[in-house]
Structure 1
């Protein structure tokens, strides 16, 4: 979908020929003499329309308005959240049929902010996204173009910033959705590595892919153990976005890339097992974030690490009670082979140390326990660093991709103790999301670290089954918030002594 930004008067908006005109109407809308303002005022006065978030009033070939279809959409106080709700509702009402071009009118909004435009753009993407890759008869959305109309130059400047950020985010989210939605036979570790290599063709992104031999040489025994039950070879994907000086420490993103999870020998129930293709949504979110970074080109350095493999119950698969040695040297007793995500992530966290990172964030569909705790509204967030946790929480709020900080009390690690290794990979049902995080914490002691458990937010089931693209918005806002602090500090000028100052005056 293409987006265009234009500064248009109310009269010009009324005469704009388009398939649909969507008008965002805030509370206390001002009066006007043009047909659009008059119709809006009349609808509100008559009680047929309220400017509450999500409220709609549709008209066909309204007098004085050139658009075939007109939709008034209430936005209340015009917050980004309300704008997202309104645009999703309005566009949902007109996207079917012959609608190919839409004008989205933001002219009625006072003091237009960039975040409002970003919310509108991403809402458009959410409504019109259609997965088509493995369908014999693809039916993509007919909507091809959205013209965003604003009323003056000041609004246009803010709108341009929001449009740039919104379209970049949309590309990242849709990239993440695409790879998360693909069936596992169309998104093997090898194919996932191919997707990363495609990103490597973009500006400032470099990609390296390690295979089984390289991973074995690194000593990633925990990662290799998960992959040993499948015929599909593992891949360890390393992405680098270099937007700042080499001296600037990077942020490292680690995405769980289990391209299909049967549970291994501790096999899952058959019902809804097809959804385990989504167990690589953490990896997909890292790929999507890099896609957005390539568009925006922010001045910071980012590393992406994706340990990708399948978890299958083959003849060589790991068994409950097996002990493996991680890259860190710590031994792990595998009490449950369905707790495999932490086994691949722990080696990736150890690998992250070589980049001397300023912070490390891992993203994983890790535990059903997190779904029970937080549902599908907020991702679970665990962190050993208050500043990092605060920055992620703030990014969640600003991007409307919410998370919630969870505890990491040492007492939760008691259940991970075992007589046969340094640590067990599970600690029972109680507090399962927390004990999983406590396991990962053992491998993240040398840097500020956070863990995002996205098991409840990465995809939806039922009739709306599909990936959400989360937490790409949260990650992108967090990274953009780090740009200012990523700039290398200028070297302080040495103070001159009294004699050189005198000499300088003499020479002058």
Structure 2
């Protein structure tokens, strides 16, 4: 995908397999469509109601007089003065799906990138690049005979001036798309392939491809660090745990890094507090936080982002066995707090608490953990918004505001939830410093409150993606979220750092 401002000629005289332009529901043509309507073919098609202009509608015309392109695709844009994010997204995907059905070297996307309400062209370019990756992703790679598909268009040209801002937006969109696709691929893999050690191997490939540093801690090292909460989960499985750290040193030497921590339960049976069998297969997605960290690092590597970033992944399985942790056991975490394990299916917080303690050694500017942590978050927010949890100090308010802004910019929505003192009361234990579950009510908040006890030496945010990391039903599969949110946030942060240094 690239930008082209028509320097080699006008849109009408450009030879290509297909040009996609927009038409509005009220019969108005987009500026790009007007440029190609010298013969009146588009006006005639609209007048004859061959194309309605409704979002998602399209009409493919061939050999249109007055233009050099082999085909002309008319794409519905809805009402002229109501080109929203959702309508634009539908139009882009309609055009790209049509391009997928062609077998050609090049096609041109000439939709009005600067006309979306409240958005600039950079936003539209980023979204278009990400959409191209989303539509190219395939879930049938493990089938013995994957469905055959047309070759598609080898290169898509965005009809927009290749300004520095446009090129930067395109690079970010393509990189984010690569990262999101990686997170989706890892999430969709079955747990007999995507084991903890497999995740570490994929981290090794990323490190080799993009010159990241990688450190993998074995069981002996974890035991020496006294990561007993993490190992209380991991030791119930025959699969070895994999705790690994990726480092990208793109910022100024000595500059405090951002740390991303991913929950990596490659399969969660619930342990001895075993889950119901219905939909247990979806517990392969309990490593979506880890997949997100690897996806974000893929995006960082593609963009060569000028930041210092650390990625921590704590991967393991949660399985029942003779070695599994029992309800009622008490474990001592890495930071010395004792935890009464009342439910072994609340294992994510046990894994994360030691990983969050480990993050202290990097003296971070901020730490964000990403986890499919609670079904309660799905009850509270459904499948549209991820849950965002932070404390309320000025530094935490700044971090929350930055993440909320990146959420709106990326189209990867989050909703802020409270982490307040009354919820800590629900974690009290008569026998240990805290319990791993609380009394009924506010389960997602109580889980965040548990994690908060291990994050008091730095600025921290928690993203609960239990409702957004994958879809069930006919469109089942990993979404790759919240890679777009975090990639955008990191890009914003890198820009802030550049501005501070140049001031």
Report the TM-score when normalising by structure 2. Answer: 0.90
SS at match of 2:448: helix
- Structure 1 position 108, deviation (Å): 4.5
Verify: 1:61 aligned to 2:62, yes or no: yes
Question: Residue 320 of structure 1 contacts residue 335 of structure 1 at CA under 8 Å; is this kept in 2?
Answer: yes
Q: 2:6 aligns with which of 8, 31, 34?
A: 8
Question: Residue 57 of structure 1 contacts residue 73 of structure 1 at CA under 8 Å; is this kept in 2?
Answer: yes
Cα deviation, 1:427-485, whole Å, max 9, x if unaligned, reads: 14411111100100100111111000001100011111111010000001111111144
* Change in 2 beyond 3 A, CA 1:55/1:484: closer
SS at match of 2:59: strand
Question: Residue 80 of structure 1 contacts residue 119 of structure 1 at CA under 8 Å; is this kept in 2?
Answer: no
Cα deviation, 1:206-240, whole Å, max 9, x if unaligned, reads: 11111111111111000000011111100111011
- Structure 1 position 137, deviation (Å): 2.5
Q: 1:286 aligns with which of 293, 296, 318?
A: 293
Verify: 1:106 aligned to 2:115, yes or no: no
The 10-residue stretch of structure 1 (157-166 or 465-474) with the greater mean CA deviation from structure 2 = 157-166
1:243-322 alignment, distance < 5 Å: 243-322=250-329
State the match for 1:87 in structure 2.
92
SS at match of 1:345: helix
- What is the rounded CA distance, in whole Å, between the counterparts of 1:10 and 1:107 in structure 2? 19
State the match for 1:464 in structure 2.
475
- Structure 1 position 42, deviation (Å): 4.0
- Structure 1 position 104, deviation (Å): 3.6
The 10-residue stretch of structure 1 (216-225 or 32-41) with the greater mean CA deviation from structure 2 = 32-41
State the match for 2:422 in structure 1.
411
Cα deviation, 1:337-368, whole Å, max 9, x if unaligned, reads: 01101100000000001111111100000111
How many pairs align?
486
* Change in 2 beyond 3 A, CA 1:110/1:373: closer
- What is the rounded CA distance, in whole Å, between the counterparts of 1:32 and 1:419 in structure 2? 74
Question: Residue 11 of structure 2 contacts residue 35 of structure 2 at CA under 8 Å; is this kept in 1?
Answer: no
The 10-residue stretch of structure 1 (212-221 or 31-40) with the greater mean CA deviation from structure 2 = 31-40
State the match for 2:126 in structure 1.
118
Question: Residue 245 of structure 1 contacts residue 488 of structure 1 at CA under 8 Å; is this kept in 2?
Answer: no
- What is the rounded CA distance, in whole Å, between the counterparts of 1:107 and 1:316 in structure 2? 59
State the match for 2:136 in structure 1.
128
Question: Residue 265 of structure 2 contacts residue 316 of structure 2 at CA under 8 Å; is this kept in 1?
Answer: yes
State the match for 1:341 in structure 2.
348
- Unpaired runs of 5+ residues, structure 1, are 493-508
- Structure 1 position 63, deviation (Å): 2.3
- What is the rounded CA distance, in whole Å, between the counterparts of 1:383 and 1:478 in structure 2? 16
- What is the rounded CA distance, in whole Å, between the counterparts of 1:158 and 1:37 in structure 2? 35
- Structure 1 position 131, deviation (Å): 2.5
Provide the alpha-carbon RMSD of the alignment: 2.6
SS at match of 2:322: coil
Cα deviation, 1:223-271, whole Å, max 9, x if unaligned, reads: 0000111111001110111101222101110000000000000111111
